[in-house]
Structure 1
Amino acid sequence: MLVAGQVRKWAGRPLDVDLPALRAEAAASRDRILRAAAGERGEPGQTKKALIPSTSDR
């Protein structure tokens, strides 16, 4: 695959890519998005339903 005139993928494999670093960056991005969606109230991966206090908590 060529990107901007440079070979970036050959025989189905990406070239010159640090996959562990890319995966870590993607996971950190996902976590930031989840925290923003939760209004910074919860841990990454919590659903909104889990973040809504129950009536017994009020």
Structure 2
Amino acid sequence: MNKDQVKGRIKEVEGKTKEVAGKVIGNKEMEVDGAVKKNAGKEQANVGHVRHDLKKHK
């Protein structure tokens, strides 16, 4: 695993937590912010996977 994969997964978990907390307390803005952060984390992790694969195949 590289830094992007780890940081992406951390962002994903933080975003999911914020999203659920927003749903529980009825705060739509917090829910949306969490969903955005979760998806950004997924994309960062995907970038990490691509970098890992490229490095492995050089």
TM-score range, shorter chain: 0.3 to 0.5
Larger Rg: 1
Give the number of the structure whose residues are more often strand, by fraction.
1
Structure with the bigger percentage of helix: 2
Return the structure number with greater relative CO, CA threshold 8 A, min gap 6: 2
Give TM-score, length-normalised by structure 2: 0.42
Structure 1-normalised TM-score? 0.42
